[in-house]
Amino acid sequence: MKKEEIEHLLADYASGEISANDKARLEEMFAKDPALKQEADEMEEVWQAINQPNHQPGKDMDNGFYAMLQNEKEQQKGARVVKINLTWLKTAAAVAACLAAFVIGRYTVSPEKITEYKVKTVFVKQPAIAQAIKTEDTRPVFVSRPVENKTALAPKNSEPEEHLTLAPQLRSVFASERMAAVAKLAAKADVTQNDLKMLEMVLNEDPSANVRLMVVNALQPMFAKNDVQQLFINTLGKQDDPLIQSTIVDILVEARSKQAVPQMLVLLDDKNTAPSTQTKIKTGIESFLN
Amino acid sequence: MTDEQLMLAVKNDHLDKAAILYERYKKMLYGFFMYKNNNDKAKSDDNVQQTFYRLIKYRHTYKEESNFKVWLYSIAWNIQHNDYKQAAKLNVIPTDILPDEPYIQKDDRYDELYQAMQLLPEQHREVLVMSKFLELKYEEIAQINNCSVGVVKTRVFRALQQLRTVYFKIS
């Protein structure tokens, strides 16, 4: 047994937090090493001997706390009253504005009837559409492929046709369509190298964090494959969304993927990395060492 | 009501429930700060109040699934840690026993082990105090100190080893 392991067992033994199994293991060692037994018993005695001095807080501390609590309760009440007053004020102001508008309108409108109507055509500018995924490919973006021959027989190997449908869908301007395409890819019984390449492209380049997160969740069950592991390690440095970084770190730590340590250290040193992600990385690396 | 239920009530602005939590934890927190502040009563009073002030002020950050004890002692640990860093900057770290001084039995009224504990390295003493006096489990101490359980147990072992040397020499 390693020295560190024995030290941990002794710490548990002295504090009384040792499990039955560990105690049995220690007692076996005690039988072979009386000096170890003596050390353990002495440490236990020291633990028992450490007494907490009977520090009694004074009345001043209680008074201070209750004064602070009362103050907070007053402030909270005050905030509520201000909120309620503001609500009433807003309501009163809205009612006054409506009445004023009615009165002004009632007494300023001309008594003459409108007898002539003019028709005017108004052109409204459409809002700009969302940006598509940037790729090196300069061909125009397609939403759907027109069906050329409805009576044609389905090919035996359906993968090329499936790619023709899914690849443009993964470049759709609508995130929901891209997510649907990711779901279809992930649901395939046999995910090919081409599929993995497409998913990797989406994971590295898609502007929507939700779509990228969907790819992470889709790839997680396939983590046993070396190329999927490498994909996760490579993409870690390219992700700026804290939730995605954190999810990938969790997957790598759970799988005890030590090859990911250099990339995790790079992320740890980056000041822009979220503190919660940095904490996960530190804990994960420590667990690799223990 | 459990501590977690009380804290959720405080989070939902039922501030009266904070008083129950105060009564449950004030003595333990006070003892912890007295150890950290070398028996400075006024400072320890102030630290306990600061802890509960922050508990109320930042109540909205408390998560439903969190362990209340760990959350509370994390606040206390941060307060003490900030005080220590400020004192270090001003070069006024208070101690009635210098770290490099050999052990001297000053007076019968002092607890011998207490003096020996003051001579321990800060990290070792802290885990011992948290485990023995705040009744925190090693996993909880690891969470507060942002380290692994193995590191906590190693520190406990080293602390007890050093104390054992002093304790049995005295006896």
**Phi-psi category of residue A125: left, alpha or beta, with phi > 0 → left and psi -120 to 50 → alpha:** beta
Quick one: pLDDT band at residue B23, thresholds 50, 70, 90?
A: very high
Which residue has 């907490």 as its token pair?
Answer: A52
Query: Cβ distance B4 to B68 under 8 Å?
Result: yes
A53 touches B at CB < 8 Å: yes
Facing residue for A4 by CB, picked from B117, B132, B154: B154
Quick one: pLDDT band at residue A114, thresholds 50, 70, 90?
A: low
pLDDT of residue A188: 81
CB < 8 Å to B128, chain A: 50
Q: How far is it, in rounded angstroms, from Cα B127 to Cα A39? A: 20
Mean pLDDT (whole number) for B134-156: 90
Compute the nearest-CA separation of A272 from chain B (Å): 20
Which residue has 């891209």 as its token pair?
Answer: A178
Which residue has 């905030």 as its token pair?
Answer: A79
Tell me the residues of chain B between 36 and 65 that have a Cβ less than 8 Å away from chain A. 41, 44-45, 48-49, 52-53, 56-57
Q: How far is it, in rounded angstroms, from Cα B151 to Cα B144? A: 13
Tens-place pLDDT, residues A131-179: 656 555 555 555 555 545 444 444 444 445 555 567 888 888 777 788 8
In terms of Cβ atoms closer than 10 Å to its own Cβ (0-12, 13-18, 19+), residue B103 is middle
Task: Tell me how long chain B is.
Answer: 171
Element (H, E) at B117: helix B112-118
pLDDT of residue B107: 44
pLDDT at position A217 over 80 = yes
Whether the ipTM is more than 0.90: the answer is no
Quick one: pLDDT band at residue A284, thresholds 50, 70, 90?
A: confident
Which residue has 């989406």 as its token pair?
Answer: A202
**Phi-psi category of residue B60: left, alpha or beta, with phi > 0 → left and psi -120 to 50 → alpha:** alpha
Name residue A36's amino acid.
L
Percent of all residues in chain B with a pLDDT value above 70, rounded to a whole number: 81
Query: Cβ distance A187 to A221 under 8 Å?
Result: no
**Nearest-CA neighbor of B16 among A80, A59, A70, A64?**
A70
Which residue has 């070396």 as its token pair?
Answer: A226
B160 touches A at CB < 8 Å: yes
Q: Which residue has the higher pLDDT, A101 or B80?
A: A101
Q: Which residues contact A280 (CB under 8 A, 6 or more apart)?
A: A246, A249, A250, A253
Inter-chain CB proximity B113 and A49 less than 8 Å = yes
Tens-place pLDDT, residues A244-270: 888 898 888 888 888 888 888 888 888
Average pLDDT of chain A is 80
Tens-place pLDDT, residues B75-116: 988 888 776 666 665 555 444 444 444 444 444 434 677 778
Q: Which residues contact A210 (CB under 8 A, 6 or more apart)?
A: A175, A179
B31 touches A at CB < 8 Å: yes
Which residue has 């304790």 as its token pair?
Answer: B167
Query: Cβ distance A49 to B167 under 8 Å?
Result: yes
CB < 8 Å to A12, chain B: 153
What is the token pair recorded at B57?
């002020």
CA angle B90, B91, B92 (to 5 degrees): 90
Coil, strand or helix at A169? helix
